[in-house]
Amino acid sequence: MKRFHGIIFLVTVGMVSCDQQTTPQKTGEESLQTYPDSIYELNAIMNKDKLSLASKRALERNYYQGPEWFISFEESDLKGDFAYEPGVVRRDPSDVISVNGIYYVYYSKASGKTYGFGTGDPEKKVFPWDKTEVWYATSQEGWTWKEEGIAVGRGPAGAYDDRSVFTPQIFTREGKYVLVYQTVKAPYVNRVKNQVGMAIADSPNGPFVKLDAPILSPSDDGEWRGEEDNRRIVNKQGSFDSHKVHDPTLLYYRNKYYLYYKGERMGERNTLGGREIKWGVAIADKLEGPYIKSEYNPITNSGHELCVWPYDGGIAALIITDGPERNTIQWSSDGINFEIKSFIKYGPPAAGLDQSVDNEKGPLEALKWGLTHKYVSYDEQYIRRFEGRGPAMNP
Ligand code: AAL
């Protein structure tokens, strides 16, 4: 087993040395002895000839780097309509946009008890995000919020979004206000495959006009086994997004529309990182699509709700909750190839960022503040505020 590790290690050193972004100056590729003395010193490695696996990883992955991407978070309750309200679900806030000095946010809202699957009554709510609609709220200063009404409702019976519309993200460009969100068609069973919808308005207050068809669907390359409504039982798992396409987030990047999303897989397994959750991206030339899934998908091996922002010509990502690389902040120079920039203790779930912040002030400026949600119970969730506290933040 030791020898096996040694071989892997030499190969990895060779690969890492191609990456100019993170690799310290190495003078050769074939041996560990080629790191400059300063790198051993920074890693507190006093004996280059006796390297533990942990020390080898520290050298390979540049663990001595500074805290520019390291951050912690504080969360607080909000006022007005975002204060906790018994019996109501408000969750999965979008990013915040600022229009004429007023903040806007979009989110999933529902009320009523969540029963789970298998009640025998297809009308009963199965998840907190079942039978939700997209609502929106405004605020002058980001602390006291006023609920304004519905932005996107459920479709008529038989439509692809007749059961639930939820987990919205807002995108603005060229005077258009665009919501992308998850949709579910009834009946909401364990094996249901959701889709992503889009609705467009000329004002942040709407009216938001839905496209006729969803813009993204799960990959169609898995195969359930048997008829039981059990999402874990498959003949074939298929792609990382063969079951669900969640948390859509749209960015305009390199003259194209990049639709980032979370995938869930048919027959989902648990791995050493917990749930088998990964992200992908689908790219379009035009806002309405078609959105073509990247051949490089999946582009993360971890994560849960999407949280991405442009920085320094690339795209940064807050990756939390699931997978071996959860609780990391990552960055890619091309929107596809993400590398770990920091390991954090915790990140706010379903984070929505303030899109009016000047991201270029620093790597984590986009995380200065935003909205998140908190579970009180399966029947009650409410929206809160988070603030980033890190060495890279401006005071
Ligand atoms: C969230 C998101 C999606 C899921 C559910 C509601 O954390 O990942 O939105 O469908 O949970």
pLDDT at 381: 98
List, in order, residues 6 or more apart from 36 with CB less than 8 Å away: 24, 25, 26, 27
Q: What does the pLDDT average to over 334-363? A: 97
Mutate to test the pocket of ligand 1, among 246, 371, 372 (most ligand atoms within 8 A of CB): 246
Q: Is 101 left (phi over 0), alpha (psi -120 to 50) or beta?
A: left
Regarding the beta carbon of 193 and ligand 1, being less than 6 Å apart is answered no
Q: What does the pLDDT average to over 207-216? A: 98
pLDDT at 390: 79
Give the pTM.
Answer: 0.91
CA of 244, closest atom in ligand 1:
10
Q: What does the pLDDT average to over 250-277? A: 97
Regarding the beta carbon of 92 and ligand 1, being less than 6 Å apart is answered yes
> Residue 365, SS3?
helix
Higher-pLDDT residue of 391, 232: 232
User: pLDDT tens, 133-157?
Assistant: 999 999 999 999 999 999 999 999 9
Regarding the beta carbon of 130 and ligand 1, being less than 6 Å apart is answered no
Residue 147 token pair? 């609920």
Regarding the beta carbon of 341 and ligand 1, being less than 6 Å apart is answered no
Evaluate if residue 270 carries a pLDDT over 90: yes
Return the C-alpha torsion angle 138, 144, 145, 146, nearest 10.
-90
CA 393 to centroid of ligand 1, rounded, Å:
29
Contact in structure between 216 and 247 (CB atoms under 8 Å): no
pLDDT at 33: 53
Regarding the beta carbon of 167 and ligand 1, being less than 6 Å apart is answered yes
Residue nearest to atom 2 of ligand 1 (CA): 305
Mutate to test the pocket of ligand 1, among 89, 167, 194 (most ligand atoms within 8 A of CB): 167
Of 1-15, 30-44, 293-307, the range with the highest mean pLDDT is 293-307
Regarding the beta carbon of 109 and ligand 1, being less than 6 Å apart is answered no
How far is 37 from 29, CA to CA, in rounded Å?
A: 16
Closest CA to 238 of 187, 291, 293: 293
Mutate to test the pocket of ligand 1, among 305, 306, 318, 374 (most ligand atoms within 8 A of CB): 305
Regarding the beta carbon of 129 and ligand 1, being less than 6 Å apart is answered yes
Q: Are strands 97-99 and 369-377 parallel, antiparallel or unpaired?
A: unpaired
DSSP string, 229-281: S-TT-EEE--STTSSEEEEEEEEEETTEEEEEEEEE-TT--EETTEE-EEEEE
How far is 323 from 301, CA to CA, in rounded Å?
A: 6
Domain map of the chain by residue range? 2-60, 71-389
Q: What does the pLDDT average to over 250-270? A: 98
In a 13 Å sphere around the CA of 8, the CA atoms on its Cβ side amount to 9
> Residue 386, SS3?
strand
CA 313 to centroid of ligand 1, rounded, Å:
29
pLDDT at 394: 52
List, in order, residues 6 or more apart from 342 with CB less than 8 Å away: 67, 68, 69, 70, 71, 328, 329
Phi, psi of 15 (to 5 degrees): -70, -45
Work out the mean pLDDT of the chain and round it to a whole number: 92
Q: What does the pLDDT average to over 191-209? A: 98
User: pLDDT tens, 348-361?
Assistant: 999 999 999 999 99
User: pLDDT tens, 78-92?
Assistant: 999 999 999 999 999
Fold of 71-389: Tachylectin-2; Chain A (2.115.10)
Regarding the beta carbon of 164 and ligand 1, being less than 6 Å apart is answered no
Contact in structure between 57 and 332 (CB atoms under 8 Å): no
Residue 141 token pair? 């200063």
Q: What angle do CA 283, 166, 328 make, to 5 degrees?
A: 60
User: pLDDT tens, 13-70?
Assistant: 333 333 333 444 444 444 445 799 999 999 999 999 999 999 999 999 999 999 999 9
Q: What does the pLDDT average to over 373-381? A: 97
CA 249 to centroid of ligand 1, rounded, Å:
13
Evaluate if residue 1 carries a pLDDT over 50: no
Q: How confident is the model at residue 393 (pLDDT cuts 50, 70, 90)?
A: low
